[in-house]
Amino acid sequence: AADGLGSIAIDTTQLNMSVTDPTAWATAMNNLGMVPVGLAGQQLVTDSICVPGFDPSLSMMTGITPINPMIPGMGLVPPPPPTDVPVVKEIIHCKSCTLFPPNPNLPPPSTRERPPGCKTVFVGGLPENATEEIIQEVFEQCGDITAIRKSKKNFCHIRFAEEFMVDKAIYLSGYRMRLGSSTDKKDSGRLHVDFAQARDDFYEWECKQRMLAREERHRRKMEEDRLRPPSPPAIMHYSEHEAALLAEKLKDDSKFSEAITVLLTWIERGEVNRRSANQFYSMVQSANSHVRRLMNEKAAHEQEMEQAKESFKNALTGILTQFEQIVAVFNASTRQKAWDHFSKAQRKNIDIWRKHSEELRNAHSEQLMGIRREEEMEMSDDDSGDNPSKKLRVDDSALAAQAYALKEENDSLRWQLDAYRNEVELLKQEKGQLFRTEESLTKDQQLQFLQQTMQGMQQQLLSIQEELNNKKSELEHAKEEQTHTQAMLKVLQEQLKNAKELAEINGHDESQANEINVLTVALVNQDREKNSEKRSPGLKSEKEALLIGIISTFLHVHPFGANIEYLWSYMQQLDSRISANEIEMLLMRLPRMFKQEFTGVGATLEKRWKFCAFEGIKTV
């Protein structure tokens, strides 16, 4: 009997035994992926999914590759159960032994990583009295066994014919094997089946991979050969017979392109000599005769292009006229007489259509205007040039004169050819020397240019470094001034606070507070004068000079000084764009001309500027 695999055959004599529970045996065989043979029980594979009238020997007669029923999607067996549902293992009865399933609550037995092309399994935990025949009886139900290597230490290696048979053997891992009905420890053992790494399996897998790689390379090469453009035709060698045939082809318009390529190849190969010069000259003359034909063809194509342009312009004009009519219809529909009778949705659609039509009309109008401008430019160019018929006549006369000149030049070259042959070597030597001198000159020029460029870049770098150093020094100086000013400000604030506290405690009058403020401002002005001597600022523009003059005059007539807001309100009448901050910065830049004093105590404290230029001149 056959199991439908086409490659696994089971001897019925090994399975003719008493089975106490046919249902359990059928379940076990179904888990192994095999069809039970010679048993009356439940049918594992229904007739509806089996191939009707399938003959296992059909593959041998027809050459059809046997179908593996365990391949998913082939439709010969039901789909495998989902992974989350545990597989129920039943007792398996064989002729010489019995296999008892493991505890379903235990975790599944562990296996190593499957080697590539694995066809060999390791079977451990065999009973001590198990023979090679018993092992073959148990594991040949998984598939054809090619070799069994049994060890003396209760384990063996089994090699199958196909890779999918290994998966069936792994299913038996965890079963407890008992020989016959004996209860001796030597007749029982728990099987452990795992993947084995065999050199034969790896070698066969490598051979298969190499074969697949060869097939892939061959397929790619065939694809490249198919997509590669064809090679150009071979050019025949020069001979008098081939030259005569080529001269005839040059006169034929249909074969001119092929013939002119052959002529060009012959000339580049150096086939022209004194003996064949006349023949080559006649072929060149034949090639020159096609110039007039090509010019006529070009003129004909240009005329066709002009006609096509004219027809396109006429069609575009008709389209533009129809667009104008459509736009006129939309404009008439938007008038009050017809617009009131349309609904809101209809008005919206009409408005959208009108805008779209106007855009298309404008685009076509611009395209038509562009065509007309191009025609006007071409007409102006034609007016400035000569008549085409006159040009053709001039070209004809020029070609005739050129042919006569070429003939005379050919005769003179024949006479001078012998003299030129003697001077060829000298010219080659001189040419080589000239090339060397020119190369040296060009190298010197390049070096000089590069040196000049480097010098310019170095000068730019030095100037940039100087500017950077100046900026750094200015930045450091500004930072020092800022820190010094902040320190002085803190000292003055502390002094002022202490003076206020003393005035409140001792009950000093307002004159004593004013004296303290005056002393404080004097110290600030003295420090500011020192800083000004270090910085020595100057006037930047004529506007600043005018402002200083006006401010000096204003403060001179105010002997008790004026605050910055009063001064700014006066200056804004003269120039509305000036700001109070700008005036204060200008006064702070000139401490010898203007000084700042604080008057009042507490909430009545006020900052005033005074003119002190006359005192500054005396101190200087």
Q: Which residues on neighbouring strands pair with residue 149, listed in sequence order? A: 157
- Residue 89 confidence class, pLDDT cut points 50, 70, 90: confident
- Could you say which DSSP state residue 103 is in? P
> What count of other Cβ atoms lies within 10 Å of the Cβ of residue 24?
17
Give the predicted TM-score (pTM) of the model: 0.31
* Band of residue 382 on the pLDDT scale cut at 50, 70, 90: low
Q: Residue 409 — very low, low, confident or very high, per pLDDT cuts 50/70/90?
A: confident
Question: Is 141 within 8 Å of 153 (Cβ atoms)?
Answer: no
Q: What is the DSSP letter of 2?
A: B
Mind listing the pLDDT tens digit for each residue in 424-464? 777 777 777 666 667 777 888 888 888 888 888 888 888 88
Whether the predicted pLDDT of 309 surpasses 60: yes
Q: What DSSP line would sit under 394-410, residue for residue?
A: HHHHHHHHHHHHHHHHH
Return d(Cα 404, Cα 421) in angstroms, integer: 26
Task: Report d(CA 581, CA 596) in Å as an integer.
Answer: 15
Can you read off the two tokens belonging to residue 280? 């080559």
Long-range contacts of 267-275 (CB under 8 A, 24+ apart): 269/238, 271/238, 274/414, 274/417
Residue 119 pLDDT exceeds 90: yes
The Cα 169–Cα 162 span in angstroms is 12
pLDDT tens across 591-604, in order?
Answer: 888 888 887 776 67
Token pair belonging to 583: 């005036």
pLDDT tens by residue, 21-39? 445 444 544 544 444 444 3
Q: Does residue 75 surpass a pLDDT of 60? A: no
**What is the full DSSP assignment across 71-85?**
STTSSSSPPPPPTTS
HSE-up of 581 (CA within 13 Å, CB side)? 0
Three-class SS state of 271: coil
Instruction: Pick 92-225's CATH classification: 3.40.50.300, 3.50.50.60, 3.30.70.330, 1.10.760.10.
Output: 3.30.70.330
For the residues 140-156, what does the mean pLDDT come to? 91
Other Cβ atoms closer than 10 A to 537: 10
* Plot region of 63 (φ>0 → left; ψ -120 to 50 → alpha; else → beta): left
> Using an 8 Å Cβ cutoff, are 236 and 242 in contact?
yes
Give the separation between CA 257 and CA 255, rounded to whole angstroms.
6
- Per-residue pLDDT band for 392 (boundaries 50, 70, 90) equals low
The burial of 228, by beta-carbon neighbours within 10 Å (0-12 exposed, 13-18 middle, 19 or more buried), is given as exposed
Residues 552-578: what's their mean pLDDT?
Answer: 87
What's the rounded mean pLDDT across residues 343-361? 89
- Residue of 545, 541, 537, 549 lying closest to 591 (CA atoms): 537
- How many CB atoms neighbour CB 302 within 10 A? 10
H/E segment holding residue 97: strand 97-100
Task: Quote the CA–CA distance of 456 and 460 in Å, as a whole number.
Answer: 6
Is-contact 33 44, C-beta < 8 A?
no
Contact by Cβ (8 Å): 337, 329? no
- Average pLDDT across the chain, whole number: 77
Could you state, in order of their start, the residue ranges of all structural domains in the chain?
Answer: 92-225, 240-312, 316-376, 558-618
Residue 17: the pLDDT is 37
Of 257, 248, 281, 256, which Cα lies nearest the Cα of 267? 281
